Amino acid sequence: MTQQNVSTVSKRPFLSALILGLVLVFGGFIVLGDVVLATVISAVIIGICIIVSGVFEILYSIWAEGWRGFIWHTLLYIVFGYLLVSQPAVGALILTRIIG
């Protein structure tokens, strides 16, 4: 490897980290500008993640054959995720109460 290739390789992670940092700082200013909107968006994203994890649990239970007791757990995941997506303001309050 020549000296030119080493310097090119080492600059790429720094440039991508710099761009990522600038995007995150810009996103932070937007969040500080409208905290309520950020709360609603985060509740919707958490709800989508919970629904996806419920679906993956269903798929895993089919694959594992004989995994008992998954129905209630999975249904709670999917119902809670649906409530977070359909009513994000109430879901944010519930998340705050549960976590805090």
The reported pTM is: 0.68
User: Which single residue is written with the structure tokens 């009513």?
Assistant: 87
**Maximum pairwise Cα distance, the chain:** 60
DSSP state of 1: -
Domain ranges in the chain are: 1-33, 34-100
Q: Report the distance separating Cα 60 and Cα 83, nearest Å.
A: 23
Is residue 80 within 8 A of residue 94, CB to CB? The reply is no
Which pLDDT tens digit goes with each residue over 40-58? 988 999 999 999 998 888 8
Which pLDDT tens digit goes with each residue over 65-93? 766 667 777 888 888 899 999 999 998 88
Which pLDDT tens digit goes with each residue over 3-25? 555 555 556 788 889 999 999 99
